[in-house]
Chains A and B, each alone.
Chain A
Amino acid sequence: MSFNNILQSIFSALFVASVLRISTPIILPALGGLVSDLSGAINIALEGTMLVAAFTGVVVSAYTESVLLGVIAGILSGLLVAAILGVFHLHLKTDIILAGIAINIMATGGTIFLLYVLTGDKGNSSSLASGSMPFIDIPLIKDIPFLGTAFSGHNILVYVSFLLTWLLAVFLYRTRLGVHLRAVGENAEAAASVGINVLLVRWIALLMSGFFASLGGLNMSMAYLTLFQRDMTAGRGFIALAAVYLGGRKPWGVLIAAIIFGAFDALSNQLGSLDVAPQLVQVIPYVATIVALVVYNIRQKAVALERMRSFQEHELTAQQAVGD
Chain B
Amino acid sequence: MTPVIEMRNIVKMYSNGVVANKGINFSVERGEIHALVGENGAGKSTLMKILYGLEQPTEGELLLDGKTVEFKSPQEAIANGIGMVHQNFMLVPSFTVAENVVLGAEPLGKGGMLDTKQALQVTADLSKQYGLRVDADAVLDSINVGMRQRVEILKMLYRGAQILILDEPTAVLTPQETQELFVAVRALVDQGKTVVFITHKLREVKEISDRVTVMRDGKLIGTQNTADTTTEDMARMMVGREVFLNVNKAPQNRGDKVMEVQNLSYVSEVGRVMLRNVSFNVYAGEVLGIAGVEGNGQTELVEVLTGLRPAASGDAMVHGKVVTSKTPREVRMAGVAHIPEDRLTNGLALDASIEENLIVDRYFDPPFRKGLMIDRKMVLKQGQDLIEEFNIRTPNGQLPVTSLSGGNMQKVIVAREFSSNPKVLIASQPTRGIDVGATEFIRDQLVQKRTDGAAVLLISADLLEVMSLSDRIIAVYEGEITGVFPDAASVSEEELGLYMLGVKRQSFEEMEAYL
Contacts and interface: CB of A to CB of B under 8 A. Distances in A.
Within the complex, are A and B direct neighbours (CB within 8 Å)? Answer: yes
Interface string B267-278: 101110100110
Interface residues of B, number: 34
Contacts of A194: 90, 103-105, 155, 159
A191 B92 contact: yes
A186 B113 CA distance: 21
Contacts of A186: 92-95
B313 A187 contact: no
B104 A308 contact: no
B344 interface: no
Nearest to B313: A312
Contacts of B86: 193
A189 B90 contact: yes
B300 to A, nearest CB: 13
Contact of B78 (A191, A195, A319): A195
B104 A191 contact: yes
Nearest to A184: B92
Contact of B265 (A170, A179, A311): A311
Given A179-B103, A187-B92, A195-B104, A311 B267 contact: yes
Contacts of B277: 315, 319
A252 B381 CA distance: 59
Residue from A183, A190, A195, A196 with most neighbouring chain B CB atoms (10 Å)? A190
A316 B112 contact: no
Given A187-B90, A193-B86, A180 B104 contact: yes
Contacts of B92: 182-183, 186-187, 190-191
Interface in A265-324: 304, 307-308, 311-312, 315-316, 319
A160 to B, nearest CB: 21
Contact of A195 (B75, B112, B267, B271): B75
B315 interface: no
Contacts of A311: 265, 267, 271, 273, 312-313
A186 B95 CA distance: 10
A272 to B, nearest CB: 43
A183 B104 CA distance: 10
A179 B106 contact: yes
Nearest to B100: A190
Given A194-B90, A194-B105, A179 B312 contact: no
Chain A interface size band reads: 20 to 34
B91 interface: yes
B99 interface: yes
B74 interface: yes
A93 interface: no
Interface in A242-277: none
Residue from A182, A190, A194 with most neighbouring chain B CB atoms (10 Å)? A194
A311 B264 CA distance: 13
Contacts of B271: 307, 311
Contacts of A175: 112-114
A308 B271 CA distance: 7
A293 to B, nearest CB: 19
Nearest to B78: A195
A190 B90 contact: yes
B491 interface: no
Residue from A187, A196, A304 with most neighbouring chain B CB atoms (10 Å)? A187
A270 B90 CA distance: 53
Contacts of B93: 186-187
A176 interface: yes
Contacts of A183: 92, 95, 103
A190 B94 CA distance: 12
Nearest to B84: A193
A174 B313 CA distance: 44
B11 to A, nearest CB: 25
Residue from B74, B108, B313 with most neighbouring chain A CB atoms (10 Å)? B313
A39 to B, nearest CB: 13
B104 to A, nearest CB: 3
Contacts of B159: 194
Given A175-B114, A191-B104, A195-B104, A307 B90 contact: no
A134 to B, nearest CB: 29
| Among all A-B residue pairs, the 5 with the closest Cβ atoms | A194-B104, A190-B90, A195-B75, A193-B90, A307-B271
Given A180-B103, A182-B92, A183-B92, 19 more contacts: A174-B113, A175-B114, A176-B112, A180-B104, A183-B95, A183-B103, A186-B93, A187-B91, A187-B93, A190-B90, A190-B92, A191-B104, A307-B267, A307-B270, A308-B267, A308-B312, A315-B276, A315-B313, A316-B313
13 contacts: A175-B112, A175-B114, A176-B108, A180-B104, A190-B103, A191-B92, A193-B90, A194-B90, A196-B103, A196-B104, A307-B269, A307-B271, A315-B265
